[in-house]
Amino acid sequence: MSTTVTAPTPSSDALIERMNWRYAAKKMDPAQPVPEDKVARIVEAARLAPTSSGLQPFELIVVTNPEVRARIREIAWNQAQITDGSHLLVFAAWDTYTAERINTMFDLTNQVRGFTNEGWENYRQMLLSSYPQRDAEVNFQHAARQAYIAMSAALLAAAFEGVDATPMEGFDPAQLDEILGLRARGLRSAVIVPLGYRQTDGDWLVNLPKVRRPLEQFVSELR
Ligand SMILES: Cc1cc2nc3c(=O)[nH]c(=O)nc-3n(C[C@H](O)[C@H](O)[C@H](O)COP(=O)(O)O)c2cc1C
């Protein structure tokens, strides 16, 4: 079978249309909070995201407290979306993989599915014999990559809901960990996403075209 990768017609593809609509909003309207049912569906999309071995090695902290968000803004390049939006999603990855964390997820799988499986148990032992022995930083970096997958799901869900969401690495992770007490919970911040509604009159980016490399420079085919 041979197919050719071609760009979709935006109007014929609802998901692509929403992805063209979304952008990393620079100015959010402080007077327009995101309804809780929309936030719940965005969080659910993050929860449903696939992760390596299904370990879900991260937690999501939804910060609405205005004082806490003001403090976070100070250690995040003073980015106004953090306080102008209504919710701040903090994706916090496990600081390492432990046997307990791995076992908890495998046990949960067995409990939810109602049976144990030899292949699955062998796979558990394989992870137990490698992950916990690795350097904690290697494990955190692996866990953070999984958190980014969930962040991406949240961004798409936000676009689907007509909610603006700005992915952010522009913050001091050590200070954010301190503000939220993450280290004591075995977590480290990976990436944050304020949710809100774009304030078009204050946003230099809103009317600029989206910039992506052309398809032919992005994808190649091996047939
Ligand atoms: C992991 C990640 C970190 C980012 N960090 C920031 C940030 O700190 N502040 C910001 O305004 N935009 C940030 N961005 C937004 C990107 O600059 C933006 O997604 C990119 O330029 C593409 O533009 P678009 O999202 O508007 O389509 C980040 C994006 C990603 C995916």
Nearest CA, atom 17, ligand 1: 24
171 token code pair: 């913050």
Whether ligand 1 lies within 6 angstroms of the CB of 81 is answered as no
Pairwise pLDDT comparison (9 vs 94), residue with the higher score: 94
Of 133, 160, 194, which residue constitutes the final position of a domain?
133
The pLDDT of residue 3: 55
Cα–Cα dist 150/214, whole Å:
26
Residues 82 and 40 in one domain: yes
Burial category of 178 from C-beta neighbours within 10 Å (exposed 0-12, middle 13-18, buried 19 and up): middle
Would residue 215 count as lying in a domain? no
How many beta carbons lie within 10 A of that of residue 156, not counting itself?
A: 18
How many whole angstroms separate alpha carbon 57 and alpha carbon 100? Answer: 12
Give the number of other Cβ atoms within 10 Å of residue 1's Cβ.
Answer: 3
Domain count, the chain: 2
Ligand 1 atom 18, closest CA: 24
Taking only Cα atoms into account, the Rg of the chain, rounded to an integer number of angstroms, comes to 20
Pair 63, 115 in one domain: no
Of the candidates 86, 109, 133, which is a domain's last residue?
A: 133
39 domain-assigned: yes
Nearest 10 degrees: Cα torsion 196, 197, 201, 207: 110
pLDDT at position 1: 47
Q: Do 153 and 169 belong together in one domain?
A: yes
The tokens describing 38, both together, are 């929309």
Q: What is the CATH number of the domain that holds 158?
A: 3.40.109.10
pLDDT in tens, 132-175: 999 999 999 999 999 999 999 999 999 999 999 999 999 999 99
Within its chain, how far is the Cα of 8 from the centroid?
A: 26
Q: What's the mean pLDDT in 40-49?
A: 98
The answer on 117 and 61 residing in a single domain is no
Distance CA 28, CA 149 (A): 24
- The pTM of the full predicted model, rounded to 2 decimals, is 0.95
Same structural domain, 39 and 113: no
Cβ 151 under 6 angstroms from ligand 1: no
Give the structural domain span for 118.
98-133
